[in-house]
Amino acid sequence: MKNILFGILLLMVTISAKAQEQKNKNAKYTIEVNGNCELCKKRIEKAAFSVSGVKYAIWNVDTHQLNLILNEEKTTLLDVKKAVAKVGHDTDDVKATDEEYSNLHGCCQYERK
């Protein structure tokens, strides 16, 4: 009888722990993305929206901040950073390759750190 009660208790704790692991469907993030102009803005936002689960993506030319709202059940912040880097723009964690950067239009080639 004690084993049955212990089993039920263990099951309830496991279910409770799983419920707390749910991902945020409207997670808000702000990341730094290098760029210079309106062409960069369009490219960065298009790359962010190409990732399934991104609901909102606006890049500010002056502050170089990309504001995001994403569904963490469908994607991660790292996935968005990789997509942005793939089109030639460095983020705080993920850098574009030299080839991707060199494919940018001349006015879009920012000073790399």
Domain around 104: 23-108
pLDDT (0 to 100) of residue 4 = 73
Is 6 inside a domain boundary? no
Beta bridge mates, 69? 28, 56
Kindly state the tokens that stand for 47: 């790359």
Report the pLDDT value the prediction gives residue 36, as an integer from 0 to 100.
96
Q: What's the CATH code of the domain at 32?
A: 3.30.70.100
Residue 29 CA to residue 10 CA, distance in Å, equals: 36
Closest by CA to 84, choosing from 107, 106, 63, 65, is 65
Per-residue pLDDT of the chain (113 residues; tens, 9 = 90+): 667 766 666 666 666 555 555 789 999 999 999 999 999 999 999 999 999 999 999 999 999 999 999 999 999 999 999 999 999 999 999 999 999 999 999 999 999 97
- Does some domain include residue 93? yes
> What does the alpha-carbon distance between residue 77 and residue 82 come to, in Å, rounded to a whole number?
9
* 81, 12 Cβ separation under 8 angstroms: no
In the prediction, which pLDDT does 43 show? 98
Domain count of the fold of the chain: 1
Q: What pLDDT, on a 0 to 100 scale, did the predictor assign at position 50? A: 98
On whether residue 51 sits in a domain, the answer given is: yes
